[in-house]
Amino acid sequence: MKVLVIGSGGREHALVAAISASPSCSEVVCAPGNPGVAQLARCIATDGSVDDLERLARREAPDLVVIGPEVPLVGGLADRLRAADIDVFGPGADGAQLEGSKWHAKELLLEAGVATAKAQHFTDFEDARAFVEAVGAPIVVKADGLAAGKGVVVALDVETAVEALREALLDARFGAAGASVVLEECLEGPELSVLALVSGSDIRVLAPARDHKRAHDGDMGPNTGGMGAVCPPADADDDLLELVEREVLRPVVDELVRRGVDYRGVLYAGLMLTADGPSVIEFNVRFGDPEAQVVLPRLRGDVALLLQAAARGELADAPAFEWDDRVAVGVVVAAEGYPLAPRTGDAISLGDVPRDTRDAIVFHSGTTLDADGALRTAGGRVVTVVGFGDDVDSARAAATAAASRVHFDGAWHRSDIGAALMSPALR
């Protein structure tokens, strides 16, 4: 089959790698892709708009479209392509509202009876400030809409919370995404990402992962889009996954069905493992980044057929999938200044870093080729280096050793991805 992947980051590189290795796949096209993706697929330029993506999908006439990022999903790209009789892996706009509006997701969780942090919704700055001053800190301030992973502030004091409210509601730092905010109680515990393939009422739970959001070792520094991930983390056993499927994923999918939402794609539950059990922090409606880079390389079988089955509503009939027994650890190599003001344009040398071997893989995220064909930085998270091992320690050692061989001015990375957290996280 011919598969079109939408997107340009490390997530899409991981998707293209898994799909291109599928026996059923004869051709992979990616729009727009990146220099790493270009080694595996034909890349097509696009302005990223839903209109342009629809046009090129109709022109390419693929057997399957896999939509990587959240923005075109929320914008209804999947609906348009399904109307053109194209199989699409990715929810329609109604299902994508689980990520498009945090308050919508919160209301659905409550209706479904799923554990989640207590929260309130505000559009007025003075009302929100009065609420924060009344309940105190710590408290989590979230832009209600899509803010490219930058709309969440874990405020440990009232002043920080009020400043976050000011930036969202008065200064319009996040544009329309921050025109309303969700104020949420802080939960404490280790975080866990559990992704599942969903097709109508059918669910296939994938291997769990743990993203490391803080910039620096020991879970210190500002929140980022993710500095690395481990799959599977040592504390996520089968019993925990069965609990998450039973008490989180199944009730949410049943509620979607009750509302008439035919969800076909990935449902990503971001969880806090509290003392009272798993509690939902957020939902995403696509593969996470960097979670995709550690989950997908461990998935064995024909990934293209599996995604097509989900897109067609035939997931229940798809063959069972298997997993590589090894642990995967992904380490993000970031640009100087990330996450606040990343520098771009620096020449990258991958040297002797293994690009795609049994022991390590490099996924491109923020890279580009200049006019002379030289690889240069083009984003805050530049590459994700994934290492494999029989346990977390050996996988982390393989990943960090390879990451240390990625060279460009100002390159840096965490060295403790996958290690035991220094202290429980607050979200």
Domain boundaries, the chain: 2-90, 124-179, 188-324, 327-403
Calculate mean pLDDT across residues 107-117: 96
Strand order in the sheet with 327-334: 210-211, 228-231, 327-334, 381-389, 360-364
pLDDT recorded at residue 422: 43
CA gap 80, 317 in Å, rounded: 26
Mean pLDDT of the chain: 93
Calculate mean pLDDT across residues 200-217: 95
- CB under 8 Å, gap of 24 or more: what pairs does 298-302 form? 298/207, 298/231, 298/323, 298/324, 298/326, 298/328, 299/18, 299/206, 299/207, 299/323, 299/324, 300/324, 302/22, 302/23, 302/24
346 pLDDT band (50/70/90 cuts)? very high
The answer to whether residue 272 scores a pLDDT higher than 60 is yes
pLDDT recorded at residue 359: 77
- For helices 93-100 and 102-112, the axis angle rounded to 10 degrees is 100
The answer to whether residue 13 scores a pLDDT higher than 80 is yes
- Answer for the pair 70, 96: CB distance below 8 angstroms, yes or no: yes
pLDDT recorded at residue 129: 92
CA gap 225, 381 in Å, rounded: 8
Give the residue carrying structure tokens 């320690």. Answer: 393
Please tell me what DSSP assigns to residue 216. Answer: E
For 396-424, what is each residue's pLDDT tens digit? 999 999 999 999 999 999 999 998 654 44
C-alpha distance from residue 81 to each of 48, 76, 369 (Å): 15, 9, 31
One of 3.40.50.20, 3.40.50.410, 3.40.50.300, 1.10.10.10 is the CATH number of 2-90, namely 3.40.50.20
381 pLDDT band (50/70/90 cuts)? very high
pLDDT recorded at residue 354: 63
427 pLDDT band (50/70/90 cuts)? low
pLDDT recorded at residue 114: 97
- Answer for the pair 167, 150: CB distance below 8 angstroms, yes or no: no
CATH annotation of 124-179 = 3.30.1490
Calculate mean pLDDT across residues 135-154: 87
Helix (H) or strand (E) run with residue 165 in it: helix 158-165
Question: CB count, 10 Å around CB of 83?
Answer: 10
pLDDT recorded at residue 424: 46
Helix (H) or strand (E) run with residue 7 in it: strand 2-7
One of 3.40.50.1820, 3.50.50.60, 3.90.600.10, 3.40.1410.10 is the CATH number of 327-403, namely 3.90.600.10
More confident residue, 160 or 148: 160
Q: Give the percent of the chain with pLDDT over 70.
A: 96
**The domains spanning 188-324 and 327-403 adopt the same CATH topology:** no
Looking at the DSSP assignment, which residues form a beta bridge with residue 367?
A: 377
Instruction: Report whether CATH 3.90.1170.50 matches the domain 188-324.
Output: no
Residue 226 phi, psi (nearest 5): 130, 120
The answer to whether residue 104 scores a pLDDT higher than 60 is yes
